């Protein structure tokens, strides 16, 4: 899932300071699961904004809504009429949601209320960790299921580097050395040979280096 984190309240307040009526657009997808952008988060943020604006003597009207997914135009197009009654939309979805709004409901400006962080999963309740960098050429097959691109601070293909110590990364003792994990898992699978091969340089064209990426599913094209 996509994991996002709310922007600081001051930054949000500054970004909507010119508006008296906004729509606070939550999302029922990933960001609901990670607590940053669901209907509950919207309710909380709306009260915080209203209180702050009241203190400033600049009251603000906020319409809250939570489409099932902000990143699919079928779910947001029905809000077209409501959009026309507001000056701006404050989106607490991921960056994809914000852009879907901008492209499909351009009548109002859409402002991000979240910082989209990564693709990951909750390793325990309320703790999410990055797992995938969307590099476009999956290596998990030979790494025993641990991703060095998303999880190694140097994106090494032939790790671990000399900074791996007691299973931790030199960059932060709270980060596990993914190359230690790769090593241990392959050892357990009796596949340490995977690590004796010198892995060649990655073709980064599959990643974010060759312009915007597209996927076309021919069989489903209308």
Partner 1 sequence: MKSASRLEKVLTAGEFAVTAELGPPQNSNPEVIKKKAQYLLGNVDGANITDNQTAVVRMSSIAAAAIAISCGVEPVVQMVCRDRNRIAIQSDILGAVALGAKNLLCLSGDHQKFGNHPEAMNVFDVDSMQLIAMVKKMRDDKQFLSGDPIKEYEPKLFIGAVENPFADPFEFRVMRLAKKIRAGADFIQTQCVFDIDKFSRWMELVVKEGLHKQVYILAGLTPVRSVRALHYMKNEVAGMSIPDELIKRMESAQEPKEEGVKICLEMIEKVKNVEGVSGIHLMPIGWESITPVILERANLLPRPEV
- Give the x-and-dash track for 24-63 against partner 1 (CB under 8 A): ----------------------------------------
| Residue with token string 């091969």 | 197
Among positions 200, 214, 215, 222, the unique one binding partner 1 when judged by CB under 8 A: 200
User: Which residue, among 7, 187, 29, has the nearest Cα to 119 in the 3D structure?
Assistant: 29
Closest approach of partner 1 to the CB of residue 121, in Å = 25
DSSP state of 193: G
Q: Is 119 in the site for partner 1 (CB under 8 A)?
A: no
Among positions 201, 214, 216, 219, the unique one binding partner 1 when judged by CB under 8 A: 201
- The count of chain residues that interact with partner 1, using the rule CB under 8 A, is 32
Contacts of 149 (CB under 8 A, 6+ apart): 133, 135, 139, 155, 202
Element (H, E) at 30: helix 30-33
Closest approach of partner 1 to the CB of residue 208, in Å = 12
Dihedrals phi, psi of 29, to nearest 5 degrees: -90, -135
CB atoms within 10 A of CB 158: 12
Question: Which residues from 144-183 bind partner 1, rule CB under 8 A?
Answer: 153-172, 177, 180, 183
Among positions 57, 196, 211, 215, the unique one binding partner 1 when judged by CB under 8 A: 196
Q: Identify which of residues 129 and 184 has a Cβ nearer to partner 1 in the complex.
A: 184
Dihedrals phi, psi of 107, to nearest 5 degrees: -60, -30
Closest approach of partner 1 to the CB of residue 21, in Å = 37
Closest approach of partner 1 to the CB of residue 56, in Å = 32
Closest approach of partner 1 to the CB of residue 185, in Å = 12
Element (H, E) at 185: helix 178-188
62 three-class SS: strand
Element (H, E) at 183: helix 178-188
Summarize as ranges the residues that interact with partner 1 (CB under 8 A): 153-172, 177, 180, 183-184, 192, 195-196, 198-201, 204
């Amino acid at each position: 899932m996509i994991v996002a984190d709310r922007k600081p309240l001051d930054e949000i307040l500054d970004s909507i300071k010119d508006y008296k009526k906004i729509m606070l657009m939550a999302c029922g997808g990933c960001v609901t699961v990670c607590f940053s952008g669901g209907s509950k988060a919207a309710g909380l943020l709306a009260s915080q904004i209203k209180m702050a604006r009241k203190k400033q003597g600049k009251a603000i009207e906020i319409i809250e809504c939570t489409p099932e997914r902000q990143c699919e135009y079928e779910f947001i197009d029905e809000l077209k009429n409501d959009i026309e009654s507001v000056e701006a939309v404050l989106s607490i979805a991921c960056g994809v949601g914000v852009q879907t709004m901008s492209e499909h409901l351009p009548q109002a400006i859409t402002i991000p209320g979240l910082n989209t962080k990564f693709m990951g999963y909750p390793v325990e309740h309320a703790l999410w960790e990055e797992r995938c960098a969307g590099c476009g050429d999956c290596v998990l097959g030979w790494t025993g299921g641990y991703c060095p691109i998303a999880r190694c601070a140097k994106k090494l293909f032939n790790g671990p580097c000399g900074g791996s110590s007691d299973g931790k990364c030199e960059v932060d003792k709270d980060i596990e050395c993914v190359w230690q994990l790769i090593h241990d898992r392959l050892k357990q699978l009796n596949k340490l040979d995977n690590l004796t091969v010198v892995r060649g340089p990655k073709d980064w064209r599959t990643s974010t280096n060759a312009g915007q990426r597209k996927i076309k599913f021919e069989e489903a094209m209308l």
